[in-house]
Every structure is written in C-alpha cells, then in structure tokens.
Structure 1
Amino acid sequence: MTSNLLVFIQELKEWNNRFNLTAITLENEVLLKHLVDSLAPSPYLPHGASILDIGSGAGLPGIPLKIVRSDLRVTLLDSSRKKIHFQKHVIRTLKLCQIQTIQTRAEDAIGRNPDMRRHYDAVLSRAFSSLKFFIELGKPFIKENGFLIAFKGPGGTAELSRLEPWLAHKSMRIAGVEYRLPYLEHDRRLYIVRRLRNGEKSLNLGLGQK
C-alpha cells in the first residue's frame, strides 16, 4: 500500500468525524469496503484513460484509482459541497495531477458542461443501487468506444437478468467480473457495459473472474 493511500485513509477518517462523509467508519471496513474495493477496476482501465466518477462522494473510487494509477485522467462529480471540498483538500494534500472536481448533479452536468458529452473512456460509480439508472445516466458521457463500470453486490445477478432484453434493445452489452474482498463473506461484481460495434453479437472485453 502506497503512503499516499494511507494519507488518504487518515484524511477520510479525520474529516468523517466532522462532516459525516461516509457511513462506514470502522478502520478495517474503510480499508476493505472503500479502499480495496475502489481499486477493483484498475486492470480494466486502459493506460492514460480519461475516467468520470459519478456520485464520487468522498472521492471513491476515483481518488484511490488515481493514487495507484498516475496515468489516469480523473474527473470527480458530486453534488455535495462538503464532499467536493474534501476531495479538493485531498488533491492538494497529495499533490495529485490530472484530476479535477465538478460540483453538480450528474443529471445536470452535460447541460452545464457540454464538452463532457462523449468525452470519457470510462464512467464509474459506486453510488447507484439501480444498474439501469446508472447506465442511462452514464451513457451520454462515454466515447463511442468507451464503457461504464458499476460496482454491485450479490443482488446484481438477478438485476442483470431482468435488464438483458433492455440492454439488447439499446444495442449495449454487459460483462461481469466477480471478486471477493479479503475477510468478507459476500461476493462483489463489476459490471462493464458498452455499446456494441457494427457487426458484434456480444460483448467481449476479455474478462473473467478475479
């Protein structure tokens, strides 16, 4: 674990005591459920990718990903003033480059910043319980060959089966990556979604279980 990740966790703990940035407060749970979980997409992000973290909250997963992947260009999007303030503090403290914050609702972001449309290689979020809502919200932000990454728990499998006809109608496909956080019993999944290219029948990102 890099020293900057440790600094980030310490800052999160200190700020959380004052501003209630996250409901998870026990140190071991912060490390596993926030920090380690945030790094799960790293193997699937191309070198130098531009990523948008929607509903980034305390900077998760965007800031940990940026710390371990300095090549990434990261935008953190959240509507909460106090959470954006924390993100900016961490960025200054760690002297992180090529990372920016935007304070607005994701639904309003493109209207206020038209350049964000089809601008990102990947759009990520840990903030949404509904996979369909995240896909609808995130799709306008990704480039033609970009993709979405959603973090889900064990319930994601049933939700995905209900979505398959809708995804086919939208000419989108999804691939799942199963992983497990250390010392925790339940499985986690990344769902990676993108548009089908001309002639494609299915999505193949070379993904499997981690």
Structure 2
Amino acid sequence: MPDEPPIPESLRSVLERSRSLGFLGPGDIEQHVRNARCFDPLIPLNADVLDLGSGGGVPGLVLAEERDDLRIVLLDAMSKRIAFLRDAVRVGAWNERVSTRLGRAEELAHDPTLRASFDVVVVRSFAPPAVTAECGVGFLRPGGVLLVSEPTDRRDRWPTEGLSQLGLAAEAGINYKHTRIQALRRVAHLPDSYPRGVGVPARHPLFESH
C-alpha cells in the first residue's frame, strides 16, 4: 500500500498498550496498522461496522481513527479486552460513534439490537472459515458484507454450497502482498437458527475448507 499516511501518536500509544497487555499479536505496530488499512477500500461511506472478536483493537480502532464516517461496534467475549477497548475509545474521543459489546458472537447475533444491524462485519484472526461465517452472518443486514483477513494462498476456504446454507456468497476480494481480504455477501435469507449455540459452530462446522 504505497504512500501510507503516518500513524497518529495517539493510535500508536493505544496499540502499544494493547500489545503490552497481550491483546495484540507479534509484529510491529506499523504492520498491524497496515493490515487494518487493507479493509478500508471495501467499506462504504457512512457504514455501520461490527469488529467481530475485536481483541486488541485491530482493525476496529484503526478504522475508528481513520474513518470518521463510520459507526463501529467492537465485540469481544473477554471482559479484560472489552475494558481495554472501552478505555481506548475514551482516549481516542470516539465515544459518539464507537461502542463496545461484551459476549459470545453466537449469543449476541440473536440480540435484536444487533441482529441484521450492520452493513459490514470485519474479521481478523477470529476462527476457521466455517465458524467465522456462521458467527458473523447474523449481524449482517441483507446485502451486507463480511470482510475476512486471510492468508494469500489459493486454498478454497469458502465453498459455495457451505456458504449458501448461511445465505452468503463469496465475492472478489483484494489481494495484498502479505494478506488478502475476502468478501462474503449476504444474498439470501438467513434461518433464525443461525448461528447455533455457543461452541456448536466450532464443534460441528457447517463446511470444511480445503
């Protein structure tokens, strides 16, 4: 990604704290921000965005800093990470357009205040493909898109038949040097039974990736 803007010191400080707490994986801050910026071209203006399994705040906090047109919910199942994210939102003065939710995706995707409420769900380092698709789709409005950061190899992670059970269809994503953003569009009805209960998508995945 040529001509990248510098990282604001306030964002760098927040992400360094995230890393010191063990919420952000290895690698320098520049690489984490670079990966987060890869989502940006596929997110429309003024979108409602959910960061699924926000963890250490990537990509959610980077998008909050660099896209002031977005309304963002940071979702995570660990209370310590949510406490960090809430503090980061306060420090960044993003409170008016960024919020947090604590809980499991399998349960919160059935919450009427969150179900079918987002134009975009962004996902990085969350779970295997079948789990990611099932846990993410319930938050999408019809026509919304699930954006997944994944390796650049050409394995078939998103079989058409498996995605169709969830009303999803794979679209062309964007390839970068070190990562790929795969787009999965909600194109059909999602049965009320999805996602299944806590842990079930992982124990009994709807499809296998090759």
User: 1:51 is matched with which residue?
Assistant: 49
Q: Which residue of structure 1 lines up, in the alignment, with residue 85 of structure 2?
A: 87
Match of 2:69 among 42, 50, 71: 71
Structure with a larger share of its residues in helix: 1
Of 33, 36, 47, the residue aligned with 1:35 is 33
Could you say which residue in structure 2 is the equivalent of 1:163?
A: 159
What stretches of structure 1 of length at least 5 have no aligned partner? 181-186, 199-210
RMSD of equivalent CA atoms: 2.1
Give the match for residue 139 of structure 2. Answer: 141
> Structure 2 counterpart of 1:173, which letter?
A
Matched, 1:191 2:190: no
In structure 2, the CA distance between the partners of 1:89 and 1:173, relative to structure 1 (3 Å rule), is: same
Instruction: Flag the 1:91–1:170 CA change in 2: closer, same or farther, 3 A.
Output: closer
The one-letter amino acid paired with 1:172 is: L
Instruction: Specify the SS of the correspondent of 2:138.
Output: helix
Q: How many residues align?
A: 183
CA distance in 1, matches of 2:129, 2:116: 20
Aligned partner of 1:116 in structure 2 is 114
User: Is the Cα–Cα contact under 8 Å of residues 131 and 159 in structure 1 kept in the other structure?
Assistant: no
Partner of 1:11: 14
SS of structure 1 residue aligned to 2:58? coil
Identity percentage of aligned residues: 25
Contact conserved, 2:109 with 2:135, CA < 8 A, in 1?
no
TM-score by length of 1: 0.79
Post-superposition CA distance 1:143-179 (Å, at most 9, x none): 0111100000134x3133x623323455532123101
In the aligned structure 2, how far is the partner of 1:104 from the partner of 1:40? 26
Residue type at the aligned position of 2:43: L
Distance 1:195 1:23, change over 3 A: closer
Contact 1:75 1:101 in 2 (8 A): yes
TM superposition shift of 1:110: 3.2
Residue in structure 2 matched with residue 207 of structure 1 by the alignment = none
SS of structure 2 residue aligned to 1:20: coil
Q: 1:15 to 1:129 in 2, by over 3 A?
A: closer
Separation (CA, whole Å) in 2 of partners of 1:145 and 1:159: 23
Instruction: State how far apart, in whole Å, the 2-side matches of 1:104 and 1:11 are.
Output: 22
Measured in 2, the distance between the counterparts of 1:171 and 1:110 equals 15
Q: State the one-letter code of the partner of 1:21.
A: F
Q: Deviations over 1:188-207 (max 9, x none)?
A: 11110113379xxxxxxxxx
Task: Return the alpha-carbon distance in structure 2 between the equivalents of residues 140 and 171 of structure 1.
Answer: 10
- The aligned counterpart of 2:169 is 173
Contiguous gaps of at least 5 residues in structure 2:
190-210
| Inter-partner Cα distance in structure 2 for 1:79 and 1:140 | 16
